Amino acid sequence: MYYYESNNVNLWFIKESQYVKIDTIAADESFTQKTCNAFPQVDVGDRVLKLNTEVRDISNLSKKGFYLAFQDLGACIALVSVRVFYKKCPLTVLNLAQFPDTITGGDTALVEVHGVCVNASEEFEPPKMYCSADGGWLVPIGRCVCKPGFEESKDICQREWGGGAKD
């Protein structure tokens, strides 16, 4: 399994030597020539298709896109499907600061994200949180406070009601 990063979406040819190897994907079990030639085994009656799932991480991508490539060197395996996905921490508001959708930093890295104060609020202490590898927000630090004449209500600042008791 290989990848190639690019900012150009109109590439029509990429040299084999430009790809970066991610890993070699192998079957979980050894197969004899007899079972190899019996491909495909389908889930029909007594026969059951044996599938193994492999997960590979491509981290620290820095360009707009990437190409994936798979090279078959005659192994007794078949590529049934490929699922490409990424994890992110979702947009959130905490302590009157908004934190944007943020792509995680890979398997173990934490990504530091600075928040922006919501309407009619200002920094009391610079707000930041960390986006974890599993897509969760961690360690809120700092906060925003409502400006004079505003009060906090459900993660926003709204005008204070200055009136007294009504008759």
CA distances from 79 to 14, 56, 72, 82, 132 (A): 22, 14, 9, 8, 31
Average pLDDT over residues 29-55: 60
The overall average pLDDT reported for the chain is 83
Pull the structure tokens for residue 93. 């508001």
| 15 or 51, greater pLDDT | 15
Q: How confident is the model at residue 97 (pLDDT cuts 50, 70, 90)?
A: very high
Query: Is the separation of the CB atoms in 88 and 100 below 8 Å?
Result: no
Helix, strand, coil fractions of the chain, as percent rounded to 5:
5, 35, 60
Give me the pLDDT at residue 167, please. 41
Lowest mean pLDDT segment, chosen from 69-73, 104-108, 137-141: 104-108
What does the pLDDT read at residue 71?
Answer: 87
Residues 59-77: what's their mean pLDDT?
82
Is residue 164 predicted with pLDDT exceeding 50? no
pLDDT, residue 45, reads: 59
pTM: 0.64
pLDDT number for residue 165:
47
Q: Calculate mean pLDDT across residues 30-44.
A: 52
